[in-house]
Structure 1
């Protein structure tokens, strides 16, 4: 018996066929080429088309409010990947939109959410700071009360998609004297306010992210999410979703782990290298190394929850160099370069893998989270070693 497939009803099969046709029409070779060149992982025309056709609303809303059924949600996720839909900005938007719905004032919800579902409003994550590392609770960006509003000063690193977004989900410090988790306030900050400056940064895999500067930015009180100095409560939901620490529904109709989408680049590289070397390989060591890479890949793709997030990112880092070595010197040529051994799949994996290990926090941070919250091993001790007296 094949346990990997769900028998689709006629209606669900028709939904799949229509979704595949629709995506093939709007996600063209030109869209994919432009996305590789810009590194944006976003295309406004595609995004607006998805909104106009109701796909964004179907993905955002729960089933009892007109959203996709569980099976159609899974179909949609897989068809988006098949078509290589530029998706990152929608990924951040949908996380933030849920917090806006839960913690935003009614007038803010009415202003923002309908335009999220039409595709005209996108939102990014204003978390990391230039000197803050993965501990975003050490936030130094200050928000100071000024009459009926606030004045914000500071900067954020790695605000991916900011140049294509209308709002940022901004963590600020509103009480520097308080303990760090009691000093935070979240804003849904409009990015067109005076004093906001967005500068692009290119990562090693060719993606674009941003550093965003906030200089005496004045924002109305209505853009505060939740209570002042209780921003951690607002932030926890999106953080848990980004970390893969959210319990899955036990029907199997979701990714096993949060990094499964990124794991697809690893699968593509293994398949491409295997296809390239298989017809000519007569070296047992090459076959062993290729098999070892494939086995590690399959194990990581089958690892659930936050464990899978670590396993997938670590495996990408480990097998990328092996795949390039197996494919030979021509594997150093990037995608769509004449003469590339595997159409650039392993070369891209090699450049992408280090970033997969820092998204949402470094692998070391996630290992500490597993140690503390799953294995109950306590917090790490970073104090200097004692010296003998």
Structure 2
């Protein structure tokens, strides 16, 4: 394995300096404070500035289509993290836009992609339902053809539609044939969120983020907004689902995150580094502190090396396991949130609140472990039925 550092050319060094200067100007302290207060993980001013500078389009496109080179893409990703760019809504937008490019009807595709690149169109995911759990194929939100078939009527509700209040469209999975097997009953739509009958209600999670529940009541959607074939929705949704789950191969050149959870892992790494600096000599004078801190850092390092869906599980589980220890080592001040007077700003308090949710977002850890068991290890599907009672004669 090659552990050498990438040598940047003079042009790439200049690009990094340009990006740092640009992000420092647009991602101000006010932006970061406002993002923590709202939990939106989105700032429209920043988003539009990124678009106007051409960064959104270059990030979305491949190098052959005019996007970033591989090295500049990596520089861009790392600099966005360092600057704490509110990123979640762009993440869902970028993901859905790939399906739009592939499956949307031409007039919808061209309009949406133009808006994605200029920042005025944002896209969110309408998968999970209040009673559906992680299995999106059990969808009960219904879409029924009306009249001559040029319009569909949608009724139902979706949970955890993060960013819906900042988006123009939702990538919505619906059931169009309740009598068919669940993977052959689904149809995808790109639904405008300003249509009559759509109600967005905010939900605040324990880590301070905002997500939404969205209700659809007799929402009339033109067939032109259908993505792919009727009852062929599973084909449409599989690619963005795999991307959300992190079930993709790592890049051969090493210029990409090895796991989808690496962004969130940055909070964990920063918290561990700051607490190690805080305790200083205590780590050697008090063997229990040294042992617990060392164990946490070793766990973090191991999880950072896990790739693809394995990293998705390893990083989330590690965050859950080490968060309580790091807060306990730091002491009472670690319980104060970032920015609070007397706080340490070490992120350990945020990580403690975020840790339970990081094992739920995009699917639960239990689901991912079952996916690894079935698709990697070749084991059978789990049996959830209660065991049969032994008959005593």
**TM-score, structure 2 normalization:** 0.97
CA distance, structure 2, for counterparts of residue 7 and residue 75 of structure 1: 12
8 Å contact kept, 1:12–1:72: yes
CA distance, structure 1, for counterparts of residue 297 and residue 37 of structure 2: 29
Question: What SS does the corresponding residue of 2:211 show, helix, strand or coil?
Answer: strand
Return the match for 1:356 from 354, 358, 363.
358
Aligned to 1:17: 17
8 Å contact kept, 2:282–2:289: no
Task: Count residues with an aligned counterpart.
Answer: 388
Aligned to 2:332: 329
Aligned to 1:285: 288
8 Å contact kept, 1:139–1:173: yes
Aligned to 1:63: 63
Q: CA RMSD in A?
A: 1.1
Aligned to 2:72: 72
Question: What SS does the corresponding residue of 2:120 show, helix, strand or coil?
Answer: coil
8 Å contact kept, 1:332–1:344: no
CA distance, structure 2, for counterparts of residue 2 and residue 189 of structure 1: 46
8 Å contact kept, 2:275–2:346: no
Q: By how many angstroms is 1:344 displaced?
A: 4.9
Question: What SS does the corresponding residue of 2:59 show, helix, strand or coil?
Answer: helix
Matches within 5 A, 1:268-307: 268-281=270-283, 282-307=285-310
CA distance, structure 2, for counterparts of residue 213 and residue 2 of structure 1: 51
2:324 matches 1:314: no
Q: By how many angstroms is 1:279 displaced?
A: 4.1
CA distance, structure 1, for counterparts of residue 67 and residue 311 of structure 2: 28
CA distance, structure 2, for counterparts of residue 248 and residue 288 of structure 1: 33
Q: By how many angstroms is 1:3 displaced?
A: 2.7
Matches within 5 A, 1:62-141: 62-141=62-141
Q: By how many angstroms is 1:247 displaced?
A: 1.4
CA distance, structure 2, for counterparts of residue 334 and residue 91 of structure 1: 26
Q: By how many angstroms is 1:280 displaced?
A: 4.4
Return the match for 2:181 from 172, 179, 199.
179
**TM-score, structure 1 normalization:** 0.98
Question: What SS does the corresponding residue of 2:317 show, helix, strand or coil?
Answer: helix
Residues 75-129 of structure 1: CA deviation (Å, up to 9, x unaligned)? 1000000100000000000000000000001011111101101111000000000
Aligned to 2:245: 243
Q: 5+ residue gaps in structure 1?
A: none
Question: What SS does the corresponding residue of 2:379 show, helix, strand or coil?
Answer: coil
8 Å contact kept, 1:337–1:344: no
Return the match for 1:338 from 336, 341, 356.
341
Q: 5+ residue gaps in structure 2?
A: none
